[in-house]
Chains A and B, each alone.
Chain A
Amino acid sequence: MRIVIAEDSVLLREGLTRLLTEAGHEVPAAEGDGEKFLRAVAAHTPDAVVVDVRMPPTFTDEGLRAALVVRDRWPDVGVLVLSQWVEERYAIELISGRPHGVGYLLKDRVADVSEFLDALDRVATGGSALDPEVVAQLLARSRHPLGELTPREREVLALMAEGRSNSAIAEALVVGGGAVEKHINNIFTKLGLAPADRDHRRVLAVLRYLGSG
């Protein structure tokens, strides 16, 4: 994959570049601010971008705004946003326009290299990746009661919202694929959501339900 990076800390920019090249990806550009980053995306049309939320000059949500531009202008480019802090509100802003091909993770997650690469892969191929912390916030702020769900079903719902596939959920919970499917069907029935077959449509349904539904 070809990946463009926007990260203002030199240390992390170099580290990310090295991590991605070592994993066999190509990094044609790694920039330190939003404008240069957008120019690089226009020049290289990568498969995915990795963007830090806080960047100069304002050091507030520059990166998030740059990510939203990429999301809207280049629908085929996967957008993975990294941040020192994750907030449900930013996730909703990111997801509301295009719920597929986007991801929002804590920067710390880079430390688990294989999981991070997996998430980037999902984002680049039209899936999604949401940080467990964001999902916890979404569940806490859910505008619908989740009281009918069993604890296990809540776990499955959280993993679904993170953007994981059935097999990944099964692996994380150490259960069989059939059990996961059964839980998912129960969740959809209890929450009154229309059954959806493809992974990202399912995530979309869940996020809509939790965030703004």
Chain B
Amino acid sequence: MFLVRDLVSPRTWLAMTSHLAGLFLGLAVMLFFVIGLSLGFSLLVLALVGLPILGLTLRVADWFARVERARIRLMLGVPIPAWPDGIRAGYRWGIVPRWRTLAERAAWGEIGYGLLRFPVSAVAATLSVSVWAVGLVMLTLPLYNSHLPSGGVTFGDMVFRGTPTMAASAVVGLILLLAAPQLTRGFAVADAALARWLLGPRRDLAARVIELEASRERVVDAAETERRRIERDLHDGAQQRLVALAMELGRAKAKFADDPNGARDLVDQAHAQAKEALTELRNLVRGVHPPVLTERGLDAALSGLAALCPVPVDVHVDVDVRPKSSVEAVAYFMVAEALTNVAKHSRASQAKVVVEGHGYPGTLTVMISDDGIGGANAHSPGLSGLADRVSGVDGRLSVEAPSGGPTIIAAELPCG
């Protein structure tokens, strides 16, 4: 049934139009490219005049590629992503290609498609049109065969006539006609595949772009969440304590004249409040970014975390070369988050932090384990925030927390 439907389906006729249009556009583009490239390269040797000519050719190729991507999306229904702008070298003064542009896979893919467009369309259009035409003629032959001047179609000395021959012609014509749309569309699929190969970014690159877009979004979200947390901590902690401190000092001031002892008690309290506020601010700053991490690296910074954890923590750091600061920060916050969980939920008696990195750029491996009750939920805000942070530096996080323990949180962070 679909064979009959395809005869009149818009996709079939869009594909046919596309092949026919490709004949003309393809011829023009091919001529332009051949002239542009040969002029450009030959003048490149003689004088630098060739460079702008090459640039113009490549720019036209860009423009052509854009048109072709649109054509293939509209007529053949295949979306082809463009190469991400960021990785293309581009042009100086709008026309002179940078050296890197001349070696670009993207640029030569576009030129290549431009050169192939005409031959491909020529084959596709010729074969499609022929099959359609022959099919139509053979199917309708019985209707007018006997009216032809020679009494039938002649092929050399042979003259086709008679019911069996006509029936055979009609059957073959029908088969050809039903096959014609499939052929037309088959060429379109091949054309689209060729375009996908030459005009689109490499598949892994396209996938990577999508993945990066998603991870960038998550990192921005994570940063926003973090800012809110800091705001809340400041507001609920240090700020409230300072308000209380100012209040107590105010009360003490009022009391000094009549009740020196009461005033002294209040000053004592205010003193304690001030010290608490300092401790809170210090811990908050450590949570934002510990100065020692920047100045002395991971090994030194993790001591502070280990000491803050109520569960005894064994820290082992073996890193040859300091990774870049973003990776160090992720490793640090990963340990911080994991040790917070150890302290809050694990009921562990012992925890272990192992950080290893060998070679350069290499990979930094971070592992935090404890002997607690396990059962951590990888989708909890803390752990999923951690996963976002890790993916932000292209790392991989794994959480193993079977109910009953032990819990192992590990990550591999590329340092390059």
Which stretch in B150-158, B275-283, B321-329 binds the other chain? B275-283
**Any B CB within 8 A of the CB of A90:** yes
Most B-side CB within 10 Å, residue of A54, A85, A87, A133? A87
A contact residues around B295 at 8 Å (CB): 60-61
Q: Name A85's contact: one of B292, B306, B313 (CB within 8 Å).
A: B292
Contact of A88 with B278 in the complex, beta carbons under 8 Å: no
Contact of A108 with B278 in the complex, beta carbons under 8 Å: yes
Contact of B304 with A137 in the complex, beta carbons under 8 Å: yes
Main secondary structure on chain B at its contact with chain A?
Answer: helix
**Beta-carbon nearest neighbor of A87 in chain B:** B292
What is the minimal beta-carbon distance from A119 to any residue of chain B, in angstroms?
Answer: 16
Q: With A84-B282, A87-B300, A111-B274 in contact, do A137 and B294 touch (Cβ < 8 Å)?
A: no
A contact residues around B296 at 8 Å (CB): 87, 89-90
Contact of A140 with B291 in the complex, beta carbons under 8 Å: no
Q: C-beta contact mask, B102-131 vs A, less than 8 Å → 1, else 0?
A: 000000000000000000000000000000
Q: With A60-B291, A85-B290, A89-B296 in contact, do A140 and B312 touch (Cβ < 8 Å)?
A: yes
A contact residues around B290 at 8 Å (CB): 85
A contact residues around B307 at 8 Å (CB): 88, 133, 136-137, 139-141
A contact residues around B271 at 8 Å (CB): 111
Q: C-beta contact mask, B207-234 vs A, less than 8 Å → 1, else 0?
A: 0000000000000000000000000000
A contact residues around B286 at 8 Å (CB): 85
A contact residues around B309 at 8 Å (CB): 140
Q: In whole angstroms, how far apart are the Cα atoms of A138 and B290 in the complex?
A: 18
What is the minimal beta-carbon distance from B368 to any residue of chain A, in angstroms?
Answer: 14
Contact of B274 with A87 in the complex, beta carbons under 8 Å: no
**Any A CB within 8 A of the CB of B303:** yes
What is the minimal beta-carbon distance from B136 to any residue of chain A, in angstroms?
Answer: 84
Interface size on A, residues (CB 8 A): 21
What is the minimal beta-carbon distance from A213 to any residue of chain B, in angstroms?
Answer: 16
A contact residues around B313 at 8 Å (CB): 140
A contact residues around B28 at 8 Å (CB): none
**Beta-carbon nearest neighbor of B276 in chain A:** A108
B contact residues around A133 at 8 Å (CB): 307
**Beta-carbon nearest neighbor of A89 in chain B:** B300
Contact of B312 with A89 in the complex, beta carbons under 8 Å: no
Q: In whole angstroms, how far apart are the Cα atoms of A138 and B304 in the complex?
A: 9
Q: Name B282's contact: one of A61, A85, A137, A138 (CB within 8 Å).
A: A85
Contact of B306 with A140 in the complex, beta carbons under 8 Å: yes
Contact of B303 with A87 in the complex, beta carbons under 8 Å: yes
Contact of A111 with B300 in the complex, beta carbons under 8 Å: no
Enumerate B160-198 residues with CB–CB distance to A below 8 Å: none
**Beta-carbon nearest neighbor of B300 in chain A:** A89
Q: With A60-B291, A141-B315 in contact, do A89 and B303 touch (Cβ < 8 Å)?
A: yes
Contact of B315 with A88 in the complex, beta carbons under 8 Å: no
Enumerate B253-282 residues with CB–CB distance to A below 8 Å: 271, 274-275, 278-279, 282
Contact of A87 with B275 in the complex, beta carbons under 8 Å: no
Enumerate A56-101 residues with CB–CB distance to B below 8 Å: 60-61, 84-85, 87-90
Contact of A85 with B285 in the complex, beta carbons under 8 Å: yes
Q: With A85-B290, A85-B291, A89-B292 in contact, do A108 and B300 touch (Cβ < 8 Å)?
A: no
What is the minimal beta-carbon distance from A16 to any residue of chain B, in angstroms?
Answer: 16
Chain A residues within CB distance 8 Å of chain B: 54, 60-61, 84-85, 87-90, 106-108, 111-112, 133, 136-141
- Can you list 9 A-B contacts with CB-CB less than 8 angstroms, sorted by A residue number? A60-B294, A61-B295, A88-B304, A108-B275, A111-B274, A111-B275, A140-B306, A140-B307, A141-B306
Give me 5 other A-B pairs in contact (C-beta within 8 A), A60-B294, A87-B292, A140-B307 excluded. Answer: A88-B303, A107-B278, A137-B307, A140-B312, A141-B307
